[in-house]
Chain A
Amino acid sequence: MRKGKLTVLVLAVVFSTVAMASLQAQAAGKYNEAPQLAELVKAGKLPPVVQRLPDNPPVVPVTDEIGRYGGVWRRGFLGPSDANHYVRMVYDGLVRFSPDGSKVEPKLIESWTSSADFKTWTFKMLKGAKWSDGHPFTADDIIFWYKDVLLNKDLTPTLPKWMQNKDGTAALVTRTNDYGFRWVYKEANTTLLLELANKDGGDRTYAAFLPEHYLKQFHAAYASKATLDKLVADAKFKSWAELFAARNAPPENPDRPVMAPWAPASRVSDQIFTLKRNPYYVGVDAKGNQLPYIDEMRFTFFQDKQALNLAAIAGNFDEQERHIDMATYPVLKEQEAKDGKYRVITWPTFGGSDAAVVFNQTFKGDAKVADLLRQKNFRIAMSYAIDRDQIKESVFMGLGEPRQAVPAPWSPFYPGDAVAKKYTEYNPDEANVLLDKLGLDKKDSEGYRLYPSGSRVVVELGVVPAFANWPDVGQLIGRDWQKVGIQTIVQIRERATHFQMRESDDLQIEIWNEDTTGYPFTGAPKFDPRTSPGLALGRAYQKWYTSNGKEGMEPPAEMKRVTELIDQAKSASPEQQVKMAKELFTIWAEQLYEVGTIGLTPMVQGVVVINKNMRNIPATLGNDWPLRTPGNARTEQFYFRQ
């Protein structure tokens, strides 16, 4: 995560031919396994470790030292809606992000090469790799996903952007042999690996590799109609597609084989959600010990976050960062010193802003307000009027720094301090000058600014109590804005209502976080107006894009340039991408559709409570949803010292 360390840039590695993983671990036959598995082998219930591992098992680097087997990793979770918790912990992808988020590394495959024009990507799989039920993991499992899931209209109604050519047709995925497959785009594609690093079933989507041998029984193309109809009816689903999706989600279906280090042994809807060691996991450490080290992961259900935080304070978790409230940090730290059961570290967010103020460009209410929100100078004035140090001290406990919503300084896409800090100094005088110039120079008896027509300027700031104490941020900003004469109503709403209003363009200004700046060209970047749920940037713009300009509102040139850059970068060279990203973020900080306040705090799952006995947890770690934090810390090599 340190700036200097990052000599290899995010994408540079992606392009070079990769053959890094299989640093031939040990001569075959010298592999070790967990004692509990050795016993099963002895009893004849499991094949020996050498048969379970692929011929060339990938070596997973350890953070500090080679570990020892055993132990239960206790964590807390919040029930079925918390299924992504599982996704983050196991990070079950063909490839994955490195701990610092700077590169993509192989996880379940051996290597890849790309053609010189980046149109063809050829992947080599691990010969002898197996699913958690012992069935071979082959190219058929990729082709099954491609042919029967991605190209099946019932399961995938609209082709995702990352699988499309420019003309809207699907990229071609073919099998080269039992242990090889190939991706062919019509244009150059330089973001495929970044996309694959997130095709792990997150957000209950389909991973880019599926257990064909298991899922066929739920697929209309393979199962007999009568059997399938009965299965659908028995499970009370409306269609076979629903049944298929449910059976495919490991947290909902422990029978579904996985490639992850741990496989579910109970369901995410249970009081205790348990993951047990996958005896067929492909990774080993440098000494040939099959991973994971830890036997079992046990998630205990908590009705609410406060109770979960109390359990964390009491030291009931072995490692937990998800759902730990940043405000709990002082209490945890004091307890750390008192009873020494655990230590507490922080993993700051990966750039952007942890409380960004988003100005809806297509607000459909009061025309005068809508017009004001579209004025760049109004947004600049509002940015100058915010006393960011107050927010930093009171809401973020002095952590982080005032910044616009741009990548972190250690990212290759960082546009420089001048851009990152633009308009972030507290300057109410300048704000007043700008507001006066906008024609809002008249004030009423209470000191609030008036429109030229004589009515009072009132704006609404919509806030949801999520992640950090955003209602407090909202109130502080509201007061700052009142000081420059803009009456601000801070509306605290619950998430669902807020999202609904966002979709219908009923929000004027909102507070949300900007956490996608590290990966501007893949996934669903929040500063892309086409992203949903994204931010309240302007749903009418989104409509304009989806209807090809027939409906909605045409975005201004700057916004169009942003989307253009995102699209072009997908087939640009790494050097070009860096240039494009810098242009993008310069536009972003300049136009201020989104005003950043404080960033680089451990707000989102960044306060980490660690059992003193748990080792191999990196002290610094890239922390972001695309990185599947803490999955990118390579959870399979965490271990208990005693």
Chain B
Amino acid sequence: MEESLDTAPLLKEAIPEDRVSVASNAQLVWWRFTKHKPALVAMVVLFMFFVVLLFPAFFSIQEPELTDAKLAFIPSQSLHLFDGAKLRPWVPTVVGKRNPTTLRMEWKIDASKKIAVRFLSQGYPYKIFGLIPTRLHILGAVRADEQNRIYLLGTDRLGRDQWSRLMFATQTSMTIGMVSVALSIFLGVLLGGISGYFGGFVDLVIQRLIELLQSLPTIPIWLALSAALPRDWPPTRVFFAITIILALIGWTTLAREVRGRFLSLREEDFVLSAELVGCSRMRIILRHMVPTFSSHIIATSTLAIPVMIISETSLSFLGLGLRPPAISWGVLLQEAQNIQTLALAPWLLIPGLVVVIAVLAFNIVGDGLRDAADPYGK
């Protein structure tokens, strides 16, 4: 930390002094953030995740639930951009059948037969945001028929395209992570703010509640709460319930921080002057106090998202969170949790890699933001 905090002189070197002195807080934060190169890279990665989150169907190649038993356990096909010297993207054909002795589906890549593919191609119909009907997909075979299917990340035991399923899983898991963090922020700022601003008995009650919640071991609590969900709820309702469960437990740390900030800011001159001018309490909290540490909240919440994602993944992996036909990273991993996959279809563990990438990206960005949140910090 000590080294990275030492960027204030660096800022001065890179940017003319007069610009620094007149720059807004947001600008300072941004300048500071751009100094953190890994965070910038991670930011780009996260941006890509967000795009997928918004348009999973566009990035998918086939319907995520489309099954074909005769196409089970196809390994990944690699995408080639150049055919000879020409830019003509293609994937190799895979041919295979069931081994009569071991009953395993065995696939061979037949590089001689190429399936020509096209970017921004027409595929199965879907609706953007459930509104605009379209057939546009990022990638598709030029001649889209039974023989020309593309499996960039292979298929699972039911012959479903893992790439497409991963896109939808990304949407589910990222949404759960972010919505539950948003809920946590709301609860955290509200309760933390009330606690810090009013103090006294209210503070006492809220702080004891936080202590109680924090003293409970999280995993068993999640397990208990999710086990309490009625097993016959439809997947969408389970999805929201899981989000809320994660948020209900996640708000405590943030509330503590917000309270601390409030306690220190309460004595500041600008709060006193706002009170003297006759501002309402709400206005003082929301207009004057919160903005002074909003960057802090952003940093903290960015660091909280990966925790939520991991929680959802673990719950689903244990069979207590989302269940098929819902698709999330945890569900995909749960389905890969058997000997057959480990021994014969290791590509079905790729969702685990995606979880690692997403969590790392959020953590690195969060780290960068935390450093940048206080541009004057030493």
Q: Is the CB of A397 within 8 A of B325?
A: no
* A298 contacts chain B at the CB level, 8 A cutoff: no
**Interface set, chain B 50-76, CB cutoff 8 A to A:** 65, 67-70, 72
- Min distance, Cβ A443 to any Cβ of chain B, angstroms: 17
Q: Which single member of A331, A399, A493 contacts B340 (CB below 8 Å)? A: A331
User: Which of A162-170, A469-477, A589-597 makes up part of the contact surface?
Assistant: A469-477
Interface centre among A330, A390, A393, A497 (most CB of B within 10 A): A330
User: Which of A74-82, A306-314, A530-538, A620-628 makes up part of the contact surface?
Assistant: A306-314
Given the contacts A394-B67, A494-B231, A327 and B102 also touching, CB distance less than 8 Å = no
Chain B residue nearest in CB terms to A394: B69
* B3 contacts chain A at the CB level, 8 A cutoff: no
* A468 contacts chain B at the CB level, 8 A cutoff: no
User: Which of A121-129, A137-145, A415-423, A484-492 makes up part of the contact surface?
Assistant: A484-492
Interface centre among A309, A472, A497 (most CB of B within 10 A): A472
Which are the 7 A-B pairs with shortest beta-carbon distances? A393-B69, A394-B69, A333-B102, A330-B104, A397-B103, A390-B69, A331-B343
Q: Is the CB of A476 within 8 A of B158?
A: yes
Given the contacts A393-B72, A490-B325, A398 and B340 also touching, CB distance less than 8 Å = no
A403 neighbours in B (Cβ, 8 Å)? none
* B273 contacts chain A at the CB level, 8 A cutoff: no
* A479 contacts chain B at the CB level, 8 A cutoff: yes
- Min distance, Cβ B152 to any Cβ of chain A, angstroms: 21
B103 neighbours in A (Cβ, 8 Å)? 329-330, 333, 397-399
- Min distance, Cβ B314 to any Cβ of chain A, angstroms: 17
* B323 contacts chain A at the CB level, 8 A cutoff: yes
**Interface set, chain A 451-493, CB cutoff 8 A to B:** 469, 471-472, 475-476, 478-479, 489-493
* B165 contacts chain A at the CB level, 8 A cutoff: no
Interface readout for A310-336 with B: 1 if CB under 8 Å, 0 if not?
100100000000000101111101100
A334 neighbours in B (Cβ, 8 Å)? 102, 104, 343
Given the contacts A331-B339, A331-B344, A493 and B104 also touching, CB distance less than 8 Å = no
**Complex: A478 Cα to B65 Cα, angstroms:** 11
- Min distance, Cβ A111 to any Cβ of chain B, angstroms: 45
* B89 contacts chain A at the CB level, 8 A cutoff: no
**Interface set, chain A 367-410, CB cutoff 8 A to B:** 389-394, 397-399
Interface readout for A324-353 with B: 1 if CB under 8 Å, 0 if not?
010111110110010000000000000000
* B338 contacts chain A at the CB level, 8 A cutoff: yes
- Min distance, Cβ B141 to any Cβ of chain A, angstroms: 22
* Pairs across A and B, CB under 8 Å, 9 listed: A306-B338, A309-B339, A329-B102, A330-B99, A330-B344, A331-B344, A392-B69, A479-B65, A493-B231
B69 neighbours in A (Cβ, 8 Å)? 389-394, 476
**Complex: A331 Cα to B68 Cα, angstroms:** 22
B70 neighbours in A (Cβ, 8 Å)? 393
* B32 contacts chain A at the CB level, 8 A cutoff: no
Q: Is the CB of A394 within 8 A of B231?
A: no
* B199 contacts chain A at the CB level, 8 A cutoff: no
Chain B residue nearest in CB terms to A309: B339
A389 neighbours in B (Cβ, 8 Å)? 69
Q: Is the CB of B339 within 8 A of A397?
A: no
Q: Is the CB of A394 within 8 A of B344?
A: no
B325 neighbours in A (Cβ, 8 Å)? 475, 478, 490
Given the contacts A472-B157, A475-B325, A327 and B340 also touching, CB distance less than 8 Å = yes
- Min distance, Cβ A346 to any Cβ of chain B, angstroms: 10
Chain A residue nearest in CB terms to B342: A331
- Min distance, Cβ A392 to any Cβ of chain B, angstroms: 8
Main secondary structure of the interface of B (DSSP, over half): loop
Interface residues of A, CB < 8 Å — how many?
36
B343 neighbours in A (Cβ, 8 Å)? 313, 331, 334
A476 neighbours in B (Cβ, 8 Å)? 67, 69, 158
**Interface set, chain A 400-457, CB cutoff 8 A to B:** none
Main secondary structure of the interface of A (DSSP, over half): helix
* B101 contacts chain A at the CB level, 8 A cutoff: yes
Q: Which single member of B67, B98, B339 contacts A328 (CB below 8 Å)? A: B339
Interface centre among A394, A471, A476, A478 (most CB of B within 10 A): A394
B101 neighbours in A (Cβ, 8 Å)? 333, 337
**Interface set, chain B 70-110, CB cutoff 8 A to A:** 70, 72, 98-99, 101-104
* B234 contacts chain A at the CB level, 8 A cutoff: yes
Chain A residue nearest in CB terms to B70: A393
A397 neighbours in B (Cβ, 8 Å)? 98, 103
B324 neighbours in A (Cβ, 8 Å)? 471, 475, 490, 492
B159 neighbours in A (Cβ, 8 Å)? 394
**Complex: A325 Cα to B338 Cα, angstroms:** 10
- Min distance, Cβ A318 to any Cβ of chain B, angstroms: 20
**Complex: A397 Cα to B158 Cα, angstroms:** 11
Chain B residue nearest in CB terms to A312: B339
Chain B residue nearest in CB terms to A478: B325
**Complex: A490 Cα to B234 Cα, angstroms:** 9
Given the contacts A309-B339, A331-B343, A489 and B65 also touching, CB distance less than 8 Å = no
A327 neighbours in B (Cβ, 8 Å)? 338-340
- Min distance, Cβ B229 to any Cβ of chain A, angstroms: 12
**Complex: A604 Cα to B113 Cα, angstroms:** 42
**Interface set, chain A 261-312, CB cutoff 8 A to B:** 306, 309-310
**Complex: A479 Cα to B234 Cα, angstroms:** 16
**Complex: A490 Cα to B101 Cα, angstroms:** 33
**Complex: A494 Cα to B101 Cα, angstroms:** 34
* B232 contacts chain A at the CB level, 8 A cutoff: yes
**Complex: A74 Cα to B343 Cα, angstroms:** 24
Q: Is the CB of B338 within 8 A of A394?
A: no
A471 neighbours in B (Cβ, 8 Å)? 324
Q: Which single member of A325, A333, A391, A497 contacts B231 (CB below 8 Å)? A: A497
Given the contacts A327-B340, A330-B340, A489-B234, A394 and B104 also touching, CB distance less than 8 Å = no
Q: Is the CB of B339 within 8 A of A479?
A: no
**Complex: A471 Cα to B334 Cα, angstroms:** 13
A399 neighbours in B (Cβ, 8 Å)? 103
Q: Is the CB of B158 within 8 A of A472?
A: yes
**Interface set, chain B 296-348, CB cutoff 8 A to A:** 323-325, 337-340, 343-344
Interface readout for B143-164 with A: 1 if CB under 8 Å, 0 if not?
0000000000000011100000
A331 neighbours in B (Cβ, 8 Å)? 339-340, 343-344
Q: Is the CB of A394 within 8 A of B339?
A: no
**Complex: A479 Cα to B69 Cα, angstroms:** 13
Q: Is the CB of A493 within 8 A of B232?
A: yes
**Complex: A328 Cα to B341 Cα, angstroms:** 10
- Min distance, Cβ A485 to any Cβ of chain B, angstroms: 17
B339 neighbours in A (Cβ, 8 Å)? 306, 309-310, 313, 325, 327-328, 331
Interface readout for B229-244 with A: 1 if CB under 8 Å, 0 if not?
0011010000000000
Q: Is the CB of B231 within 8 A of A398?
A: no
- Min distance, Cβ B39 to any Cβ of chain A, angstroms: 40
**Complex: A479 Cα to B350 Cα, angstroms:** 26
Q: Is the CB of B340 within 8 A of A394?
A: no
Q: Which single member of B72, B158, B344 contacts A475 (CB below 8 Å)? A: B158
Interface readout for B208-229 with A: 1 if CB under 8 Å, 0 if not?
0000000000000000000000
A494 neighbours in B (Cβ, 8 Å)? 231
Q: Which single member of B68, B158, B323, B344 contacts A492 (CB below 8 Å)? A: B323
Interface centre among B69, B104, B324 (most CB of A within 10 A): B69
Interface centre among B101, B324, B339 (most CB of A within 10 A): B339
B338 neighbours in A (Cβ, 8 Å)? 306, 325, 327
**Complex: A329 Cα to B159 Cα, angstroms:** 19
B157 neighbours in A (Cβ, 8 Å)? 394, 469, 472
**Interface set, chain B 334-378, CB cutoff 8 A to A:** 337-340, 343-344
A337 neighbours in B (Cβ, 8 Å)? 101-102
**A-B contact sample (9 more), CB < 8 A, given A475-B324, A476-B69:** A328-B340, A330-B99, A331-B340, A333-B103, A334-B343, A394-B159, A479-B65, A490-B324, A492-B323
**Complex: A391 Cα to B232 Cα, angstroms:** 24
**Complex: A327 Cα to B65 Cα, angstroms:** 21
Chain B residue nearest in CB terms to A493: B231
